Chain A
Amino acid sequence: MLKYTDEHEWLRLEGDVATVGITDHAAEQLGDLVFVELPKVGATLTRGAAAAVVESVKAASDVYAPVDGEVTAINEAAVSNPESVGTDPQGAGWLYRVRLSDPSQLDGLMDEAAYRAFVG
């Protein structure tokens, strides 16, 4: 199940763990990425709070946690190769995995069609 937030993140749910990244639309807007900062494995995320940071040459952008939960994995390859987050944000450029503490929080998120309509 693939979900999107209005902050331009995507979540792919498998069981109670979601893989999270930024959308291709967000990556295009940000431009060439040069730095990625991820949460630590085991960190507790709060929906709406900054969970990661992606930086272009020009600016730093927070990536907000789309749900509450605990970080179970991070994409070290994205840290060593920030460019991949820009070029393949919904594939190799995923950011982290989170174990949802409240799966009902997914109900408020958009599906693919709704997100495409949202970004126009």
Chain B
Amino acid sequence: MTADTAASLLQTPLHALHQEAGARMVPFAGYRMPLQYPLGLLKEHLHTRRAVGLFDVSHMGQIAVRARSGDLADTARALETVVPIDVVGLPPGRQRYGFLTTQGGGILDDLMLANLGDHYLLVVNAANKAADLAHLLDAIGTECTVEPVDRALIALQGPGAEAALARHLPAVAEMRFMDARAVSFQGEDGVIVRAGYTGEDGFEIALPPGSAVALARALLADPDVKPVGLGARDSLRLEAGLCLHGADIDHETSPVEAGLSWAIPKVRRRSGARAGGFPGAERILTELDDGPARLRVGLRPEGRTPVRAGAALYAAADASEPVGRVTSGGFGPSLDGPIAMGVLPSTLAVPGTPVFAEVRGQRLPCAVAPLPFRPAGFKRS
């Protein structure tokens, strides 16, 4: 047995709400989490694309980082020794996507990093939060305090998210994509960001348990807002072409191979003012200059058969050796067809290239497809 035995599973502050809503609960990253509600995965997915989905993502890690000197610039400089993104240039009230890299240039975890004025908030994957915390303490614990923040986290996603949330927190209407702000609800303080993991406009709201439950209940009283489980969260992020750590990215995959080079700005690349200085910089900066040997791609199977994680990819129907593999795959409800992501040699990672995925002994034709599979609905201005 693993840590996921029933007795040792943690519950989020929204547990009672999931039970009332009739959720099917499953073990996930040490927590008892809602996989789906009676509406079902397909309809939850489509509802999020059309209206508003409410997700409990309280299992994710929230980590506050503050320089012991009290100077935010010192915190930024310390963080740049663990992530290859531009932290120093991130203005207060803004958030960026990034990743902790390994010494070998792989991805320890991917994360969101927000400048909250007097400290930085990192939101990390549930399954990695203990490892991330240990890594951060080891790497920057001398200069910075690195503290997990025990708050609930609610994601409100979909084209109606702003209208639904503004009824309770009117100021959110002024936020744009990747803004991060302090928030107060029912006398409790938290953080709100305009971002998410679905490809839709939306928000993630971190609040202490009491006010988080109150806000979730208030939001769910709106007929436009439906609770959505982890099942649809996965199909939504796959359609949005977003990586899942442990599947599409891992300790071996570099950010360049993962198609995440956009997150590494010029200032951190070779001949940049703050070039390198993060774990695995040599491999990552070399791949940025020379191009990686392999790349993450989108895949559209030609037929109706879903192609799932682990399936081998071949350059030809009769090829003897695979050239890559599927890292995430399933069915895209909004596309009404199978979709997948995988890794291929860079020479084949060109949209339109035909490849073959092996499913139950058959080679199924797929086309390399641009990501995301559908355009994002972010509010950028």
Residues of A with Cβ closer than 8 Å to B? Answer: 31-32, 34-35, 37, 53, 55-60
Contact = CB atoms under 8 A, between A and B. Distances in A.
B36 interface: yes
Nearest to A34: B331
A21 B215 CA distance: 44
A56 B41 contact: yes
A57 B333 contact: yes
Given A31-B36, A55-B331, A57-B330, A37 B305 contact: yes
B40 A31 contact: yes
A70 B253 CA distance: 47
B377 interface: no
Nearest to B230: A58
Given A53-B360, A55-B331, A35 B235 contact: no
B306 A34 contact: yes
B305 A58 contact: no
B266 interface: no
Nearest to A53: B360
Nearest to B231: A58
B306 A32 contact: no
A32 B40 contact: yes
A35 B306 contact: yes
A57 B231 contact: yes
B233 to A, nearest CB: 11
Nearest to A50: B360
A59 B42 CA distance: 13
A35 B331 contact: yes
Can you list the 5 inter-chain pairs with the closest CB atoms, starting with the nearest? Answer: A32-B42, A34-B331, A57-B331, A32-B40, A57-B41
| Interface bracket on B | 10 to 19
Contacts, number: 43
Given A57-B42, A57-B330, A31 B231 contact: yes
B308 interface: yes
B80 interface: no
Chain B interface, DSSP helix/strand/loop, else mixed:
mixed
B41 A31 contact: yes
Interface in B45-73: 45
Given A35-B331, A35-B338, A57-B330, 4 more contacts: A32-B41, A34-B42, A53-B360, A57-B41
B304 interface: yes
Contacts of A59: 308
A31 B42 CA distance: 9
Nearest to B42: A32
A56 B331 CA distance: 8
A31 B333 CA distance: 13
A56 B231 CA distance: 10
B234 interface: yes
B37 to A, nearest CB: 11
A70 B268 CA distance: 65
A83 to B, nearest CB: 9
B33 to A, nearest CB: 14
Contacts of B308: 59-60
Contacts of A56: 41, 331
Nearest to B336: A34
Contacts of A53: 360
Contacts of B41: 31-32, 56-58
Contacts of B338: 35
A35 B304 contact: yes
Contacts of B43: 32
Contacts of B36: 31
Interface in B189-235: 231-232, 234-235
B235 A57 contact: yes
Residue among A32, A35, A53, A57 facing the most chain B CB atoms (10 A cut-off): A57
A35 B305 contact: yes
Contacts of A60: 306, 308
Nearest to B333: A57
Contacts of B360: 37, 53
A56 B330 CA distance: 8
29 contacts: A31-B40, A31-B41, A32-B40, A32-B41, A32-B43, A34-B42, A34-B306, A34-B331, A35-B304, A35-B306, A35-B331, A35-B338, A37-B305, A37-B360, A53-B360, A55-B306, A55-B331, A56-B41, A56-B331, A57-B41, A57-B42, A57-B45, A57-B231, A57-B331, A58-B41, A58-B231, A58-B330, A59-B308, A60-B306
